[in-house]
A and B are shown apart, each in its own frame.
Chain A
Amino acid sequence: MTDNPDTYFVLLFVAGSAVMLLMAVAIVLFVIFHQKKMMKEEVKQQRMELDYQKKMLKAALESQESERKRVAKDLHDDVGMMLMTLRINLNEQTPDGPLQELRKLVDETHESVRRISWDLMPTTIDNFGLFQSVQEMCDRLSKNGKVKVAYSETGQRQTLDKDQELLLYRIAQESVSNALRHAHALHIEVQFEWVDDSLKLSILDDGVGFDFPAPHDKIDLRHGLGLYNLENRVALLGASLSFKQNDPTGTIVTVTTPLNTHEPH
């Protein structure tokens, strides 16, 4: 080692530059790892928030279902029973008298109460399951002759849990209701298709169609309460929802539910 000040300068320069270079590399690596760590934490937090929202949504829908059940039961058991009693009394007191119109009105009211009660909570879903209930809904809607609602099921049927059944029933009910009320459809088809490890529910109609959301759009209340509820139920099912133009007119709503990846509620 020489005592030449130039040599010291060179050494100092090399050491200083090396330290600064290493610092620069360390800063770059720190930023990369820090950012990736923060991203992971953010994803974790988003997942937790999503789970929380899902739980809240599930609780809200459960509460709604429970309330529907209670109202349906009260309507059927109390109001229905009272109307039935009123009808019997009317028949006993004036079998062919001037109260014929009143009897007709009571009958109609009783039928309305039964229909509302059934819409709120079909008894068949508890007793006979989803497919029987949807079929029954289609038959009931076709009864008046104005619209034809067809039902079909293809593929090997698999077991669904009660929550899944109720959610799918509500989805079918909401979609059919939309087709009737908003699209003024005359022909509707409700199709269940079992494909390997998924269940595809399609609702096809020949109505006037509607401005359905684009595939990348998040459905919210701006799109209407019906669609929003549909989206929420699809989310709880862990399913996918798509809308398509039917040929020549109308809409096809498809809900594909994966069967093996369903999270228990």
Chain B
Amino acid sequence: MGIEVLTLSRHTILWSSGVVVCIGIFQWTKLPSSLRVFTALKTASFSCDLGSTALIVHKISPNDVGTMYQIVELGLLLWMYYLAFDNKKLKSLTIATVTVLTALGIINWIFIQKGGINSYTFAIDSLTLWGVSLYFFFWYAVSTQRKNPVQKALFWINTGLVIYLSATLLLFMATEYLITVVNDDLIAYWTYHNIMAIIANIFFFYGLWIAGRKKPDAPPAASY
């Protein structure tokens, strides 16, 4: 697997993220607040991918942009889940988690891994988000408000996240080992990561697309 495939996958991520952002903005008025936060996140993701591509073209390392996005992503995704759970009791926990992990991410960025790949931040944040996304499914399964999951936008967005995080969690956890011990160039691994991100974008697109669809009218109450 060569650098060409990696470049192609990176460009595909960029444009698939762009499409997701477009549908999110197009449906904006019909979206609940949780999905608006998600659209904001995808807009940040698209901007960072665009910035990274520009930096790579100018032979500048995009690691700082990636780290910054990772820190922003954690905050926005936890905020999205907090709005989706609609449980005020989770407010303090969400704020505490975001504060602690953001602080750790910034400390790691400034003092520990600095301008390199911030693999510790990626690993801890991905593990946290993976846990929350799995909890979302558990919450959804035990929820008393039964809804057909295939008609629920957040279900598909969470599906995209669970699949992406499950597939890439080990990669994020092993990045440091791969760089320092195996001395791998990571091309194959990042290509794999990018393919999973493209798959996730397909789920995100579908989720935002169905979020704006008109729901069928309820039958009139006076009819039997």
Contacts and interface: CB of A to CB of B under 8 A. Distances in A.
Q: Do A and B bind each other?
A: yes
Interface of B is mostly: helix
A146 interface: no
A28 B137 contact: yes
Interface stretch (A92-100, A117-125, A215-223): A215-223
A30 B149 CA distance: 11
Contacts of A42: 146
A238 B224 contact: yes
Contacts of A31: 137, 140-141, 149, 155
Nearest to B152: A35
Nearest to B143: A35
B182 A20 contact: no
Given A28-B163, A35-B140, A17 B170 contact: yes
B146 A216 contact: no
Contact of A9 (B168, B182, B220, B224): B182
Interface in A11-44: 13, 16-17, 20-21, 23-25, 27-28, 30-32, 34-36, 38-39, 42
B220 A216 contact: yes
Given A24-B166, A216-B220, A242-B222, A34 B141 contact: yes
Interface of A is mostly: helix
Interface in B154-200: 155, 159, 162-163, 165-171, 174, 177, 182, 184, 192
B180 to A, nearest CB: 13
Given A16-B170, A31-B141, A234 B224 contact: yes
Contacts of B222: 213, 215, 217-219, 231, 234, 240-242
B134 interface: yes
A210 B122 CA distance: 66
B221 interface: yes
Contact of A25 (B140, B163, B170, B220): B163
A179 B163 CA distance: 64
Contacts of A16: 170
B134 A27 contact: yes
Give the size range of B's interface with the partner: 20 to 34
Contact of A24 (B162, B171, B174, B192): B162
A235 interface: yes
A121 B134 CA distance: 64
Given A16-B170, A219-B221, A242-B222, A39 B146 contact: yes
Interface string B198-224: 000000000000000000001011111
A75 interface: no
Given A234-B224, A235-B224, A32 B150 contact: yes
A161 interface: no
Contacts of A38: 146
A21 B171 CA distance: 12
Q: Which of A6, A20, A39, A234 has the most CB of B within 10 A?
A: A20
Interface of B: 134, 137, 140-141, 146-150, 155, 159, 162-163, 165-171, 174, 177, 182, 184, 192, 218, 220-224
* Shortest 5 CB-CB contacts between residues of A and residues of B: A24-B166, A218-B221, A20-B166, A240-B223, A215-B220
12 contacts: A13-B174, A20-B166, A20-B170, A21-B166, A35-B140, A36-B149, A38-B146, A217-B221, A218-B221, A240-B222, A240-B223, A242-B222
